[in-house]
């Protein structure tokens, strides 16, 4: 079997550790994600989906358990190591895209490339790659537009291009279609699926939309901080 991209063993997360209001939110998550796998993460509100995504994204430290990312044990990584690992392996898409309003679409897509530790050298290469990705998401004519000049769906396309600019092996998406209408959601999903197939990028997508979950390769259901179900989808879209 190929080495998993992600391997979580007994991952725990407690917020406000050591304080009277401490709350364990993840109670021991075991999860493997294979390269190229397109997984939906579903579950009721408050079940810990965002917390799990943040732990996988090295945005939060776990309180217990073990996390291997692309073959490396990242559990004890310090801030610098986490930042580097994020830039090497991960991409992020959020519900509210978090584009920077003062920058153009092209600049927004380039940003992860300019912010990474070895950033500046490859600026021209990053610009080319960003322009290619914007064209691939159908925004060749909107590269010089600022976010507020773009529709919600277009902004999310920019965010997808930004997530892919460093060639991540795993993209973590937190309700990427959460505030979009059905038609726009479908086209965003199709883009994610296309990049999943073209680049072999694995995706873990938190969604409340059963229609989208039903089109992923696998559906993981979280309930009260534990995996309640984890099943392959036999008829993905």
Residue 131 vs 206, nearer CB to ligand ADP: 206
* CB-based contact 198:179 (threshold 8 Å): no
Q: Is 51 in the site for ligand ADP (CB under 6 A)?
A: yes
Question: Using CB atoms within 10 A of its CB, is residue 85 exposed (0-12), middle (13-18) or buried (19+)?
Answer: middle
- The least distance separating ligand ADP from the CB of residue 48, rounded to whole angstroms, comes to 4
Binding mask 7-36 for ligand ADP (x = CB under 6 A): --------xx------x-x-----------
| Geometric angle at alpha carbon 169, from 186 and 176, rounded to 5° | 30
> Which of 50, 104, 155, 156 is the binder for ligand ADP (CB under 6 A)?
50
Of positions 45, 198, 231, 235, contacts ligand ADP by CB under 6 A? 45
According to CB under 6 A, which one of 3, 10, 17, 46 is a site residue for ligand ADP?
A: 46
Q: How many residues bind ligand ADP (CB under 6 A)?
A: 12
Of residues 193-222, which lie at the interface with ligand ADP (CB under 6 A)?
Answer: none
Report the residue from 47, 104, 108, 156 that binds ligand ADP according to the rule CB under 6 A: 47
The verdict on 224 binding ligand ADP (CB under 6 A) reads no
Using CB under 6 A, which of 6, 29, 39, 48 touches ligand ADP? 48
Residue 147 sits in the site that holds ligand ADP (CB under 6 A): no
Shortest separation between residue 20's beta carbon and ligand ADP, angstroms: 13
Nearer to ligand ADP, 27 or 146 (CB): 27
The residues, ordered by sequence, that sit 6+ positions from 118 with a Cβ below 8 Å of its Cβ are: none
Q: What is the largest CA-CA distance in the chain?
A: 54
DSSP 51-78: HHHHHHTTSS--SEEEEEETTEE-TT--
How distant, in Å, are the alpha carbons of 104, 207, 212, 216, 230 from that of 41? 32, 6, 11, 10, 9
- Burial pattern 109-132, b for ≥16 Cβ within 10 A else e, equals bbbbbeebeeeeeeeeebbebbbe
Of 39 and 51, the one with the shorter C-beta distance to ligand ADP is 51
The string of DSSP codes covering 23-42 is: EEEEEEEEEEE-TT-EEEEE
Name which position in 6, 29, 49, 113 contacts ligand ADP (CB under 6 A): 49
Rg of the chain taking only CA atoms, in angstroms: 18
- Candidates 42-50, 85-93, 135-143, 177-185 — which segment interacts with ligand ADP by CB under 6 A? 42-50
> Footprint of ligand ADP on this chain (CB under 6 A)?
15-16, 23, 25, 43, 45-51
């Amino acid at each position: 079997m190929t080495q998993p991209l992600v391997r979580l063993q007994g991952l725990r997360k407690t917020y406000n550790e050591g304080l009277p209001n401490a709350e364990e939110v993840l109670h021991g998550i075991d999860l493997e994600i294979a390269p190229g796998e397109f997984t939906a993460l579903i579950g009721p509100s408050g079940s810990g989906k965002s917390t799990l995504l943040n732990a996988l994204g090295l945005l939060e430290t776990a309180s217990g358990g073990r996390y291997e990312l692309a073959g490396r044990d990242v559990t004890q990584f310090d801030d610098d190591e986490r930042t580097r690992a994020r830039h090497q392996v991960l991409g992020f898409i959020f519900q509210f895209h978090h584009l920077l309003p003062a920058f153009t679409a092209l600049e927004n897509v380039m940003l992860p490339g300019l912010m990474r530790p070895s950033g500046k050298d490859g600026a021209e290469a990053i610009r080319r790659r960003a322009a290619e990705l914007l064209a691939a998401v159908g925004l060749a004519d909107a590269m010089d537009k600022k976010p507020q000049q773009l529709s919600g769906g277009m902004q999310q396309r920019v965010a997808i291009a930004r997530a892919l600019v460093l060639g991540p092996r795993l993209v973590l998406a937190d309700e990427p279609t959460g505030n979009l209408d059905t038609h726009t959601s479908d086209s965003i999903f199709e883009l994610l699926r296309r990049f999943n197939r073209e680049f072999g990028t694995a995706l873990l997508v938190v969604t409340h939309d059963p229609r989208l979950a039903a089109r992923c390769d696998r559906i993981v259901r979280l309930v009260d901080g534990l995996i309640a179900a984890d099943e392959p989808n036999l008829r993905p879209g």
